Structure 1
Amino acid sequence: MTLIDIFLLALAGCAAGGMNALAGGGTFFSFPALLATGLPPVTANATNAVALWPASIASAWAARASLRPLGRYLLPLLLAGLLGGLGGGLLLLVGGDTVFRVLIPWLLLAATALFAASPWLARALAARRREAAQPPHTPLSLAAHAGVSVYGGYFGAGMGILQLAAFSIEGHPLARANALKNLISAVIYSVASLTFILAGRVSWAELLVLLAGATAGGYAGGALGEHLPPRLLRALVLLVGSGMTLYYFHATYFAA
């Protein structure tokens, strides 16, 4: 890494950590920065996933009180997250850089669209939600959770929005849906990260710089959270996400 690469990753990590603490969407900063340092696409995505791993575990641990009463109800969800996250991680490794490079703009487009639609989606779900103590698992609901988990293991940006929507549609109260989202995200990131580490696709030097920046950014974001307008933060994430999507569509399909 050059000094410019170190500065870029530290800045991107700081922005990603801050945005995740404030409004979400940190991947739009960290993943392109890893690509910009010259990492292959799969290695960049694997490194980004491992960088998000500690935060996902911390979030799940913080929500443990809401999840403890669910007991065995969690087992099918954990299994869907485990198998889906493993499947997504393996798909990324098997497909390799060539396939993933072609999919990058489409994945960024999907994540940007999900982030843009999240307020509308939350309002729509709140209007139709019928809360239940423990909504029954069905083959369709478990298949939906497994599909989201595959996406999370493969790329991950916007995964939390999909999970929150799935749990809310099932009838979970918002607080429990968020706790479940945190738990399953931790499972997905854990199994995918271990898969990437064992496959040797993580670039540790870049990871350490990114983690340092994300830690500082997360602390600063938490401190500033009550002073910055949420609409401004969302607009910034959407601007970056849209810009990255357009750039990678051009670079992938139109650049000479």
Structure 2
Amino acid sequence: MFEILLALLAGIAAGALNAVGGGGTFVALPALVALGLTPVTANALSRIALVPGALAGAWVCRREIGPVGPTSMRELTAVSVVGGGVGAGLLLVLPASSFDAAAPWLLAFATVVLAFGRRVSQALSDRLGRSVALSSRALLTGQFFIAVYGGYFGGAVGVMMLALWGIGLGLDSAAGNPMRIAQLAAIFASATVLFLVASDALSAPLLLGAMLVGAVAGGYGGAHLARRLPAPLLRGVLLTTAVTTTVLYFLRG
């Protein structure tokens, strides 16, 4: 019961974090590893569990989702689906030892992106000027590589999307957040299809079920919460979670 409760609480926290600004991986992955799963299995299981939460968050924001610059929602989603599938395929094809060795550094990289990504994005946007905009092809190419990263690991992938859209198009983070949630759902859903077929994520059905329930509740509640809480407070909570879990993961290894 303790393990199921921990998975449920981790799912709630991860779903809420993804809805308010990204970073659910920082909670879900370490929690599942702490429960005895291998990093690769934990990564696949957490991605499966977070899909319903991402879909719930996208449903809440559905009326606010729109095109990103010159790129339609349909084009961006198609690229996210393909990239997410490629990333998931890489996770399954590459040796498990590769992900085990890379996981702490991926967490560290994602933490740095969380800490400084918005500032760098704003500085570059100011320097380049708002009139400088990426073409549709360039934007879709960038989105593809971000989706590959999201399918393989996923930490801070939402922040990376907002940074790309902010630098390339001058899109405000608040305005882009509904589309960020929708693209997270597309990336995770695509990866989940492969994980369900080719990974051993279903070997822990009780943990998966508990995290699924928690992620749906967290994603739905987090999307509503994101509209009410101050942005600095949300970023502070997210960054604290990221730094803590990254340090603990390095100590574990």
TM-score, structure 1 as length reference:
0.80
Q: Which residue matches 1:6?
A: 4
Q: Is the 8 A contact 1:23 1:230 kept in 2?
A: no
Percent of aligned pairs sharing the same letter = 37
Q: CA 1:172–1:245 in 2, change beyond 3 Å: closer, same or farther? A: same
Give the 3-state SS of the residue equivalent to 2:242 in structure 1: helix
Q: Does 1:33 align with 2:31?
A: yes
Kept in 1: contact 2:69–2:169 (CA 8 A): no
Per the alignment, do residues 34 and 197 of structure 1 end up closer, same or farther by CA in structure 2, a change over 3 Å counting? same
Task: Please list the CA deviations of residues 146-172 of structure 1 after superposition, one character each: whole Å capped at 9, or x if unmatched.
Answer: 111110000111111111121222326
CA distance in 2, matches of 1:224, 1:78: 25
How has the CA–CA distance of structure 1 residues 120 and 248 changed in structure 2, closer, same or farther, with 3 Å as cutoff? same
How many aligned positions are there? 248
Q: After TM superposition, list the pairs within 5 Å mapping 1:20-169 onto structure 2.
A: 20-61=18-59, 62-63=61-62, 66-67=65-66, 73-74=72-73, 76-121=75-120, 123-124=122-123, 127=126, 128=128, 130=130, 136-138=135-137, 140-169=138-167
Match of 2:238 in 1: 237
**Contact kept? 2:10, 2:31, Cα under 8 Å:** yes
Residues 201 and 131 (structure 1 numbering): CA distance in 2 closer, same or farther, change over 3 Å? farther
Q: 1:55 to 1:129 in 2, by over 3 A?
A: farther
The residue type equivalent to 1:212 in the other structure is V
Q: Does 1:205 align with 2:206?
A: yes
Q: 1:209 deviation in Å? A: 0.7
1:214 matches 2:215 = yes
When residues 71 and 202 of structure 1 are mapped into structure 2, their CA distance, relative to the original with a 3 A threshold, is farther
Root-mean-square deviation (CA, aligned residues, Å) is 3.2
1:64–1:229 CA distance, 2 compared to 1 (3 A): closer
Q: Deviations over 1:120-159 (max 9, x none)?
A: 2453366355269x96323x43332211111000011111
Structure 1, unaligned runs of 5 or more: none
**Structure 1 residue 28: deviation in Å?**
1.3
Separation (CA, whole Å) in 1 of partners of 2:176 and 2:226? 22
- Residues 178-223 of structure 1 show CA distances to partners (whole Å, capped at 9, x for unaligned) of 3443333222111101110111432332121112233444566567
Does structure 2 conserve the Cα–Cα contact (< 8 Å) formed by 1:45 and 1:155?
yes
2-structure distance, mates of 1:154, 1:83: 12
The aligned residue for residue 249 of structure 1 is 250
> Is the 1:67–1:176 contact (alpha carbons within 8 Å) kept by the matching residues of 2?
no
Partners in 1 of 2:119 and 2:243 — Cα distance? 18
Gaps of 5+ in 2: none
Query: What amino acid maps onto 1:244 in structure 2?
Result: T
State how far apart, in whole Å, the 2-side matches of 1:141 and 1:45 are.
27
CA distance in 1, matches of 2:16, 2:65: 26
In 2: Cα distance, 1:123 partner to 1:55 partner = 29
Moved more, 210-219 or 97-106: 210-219
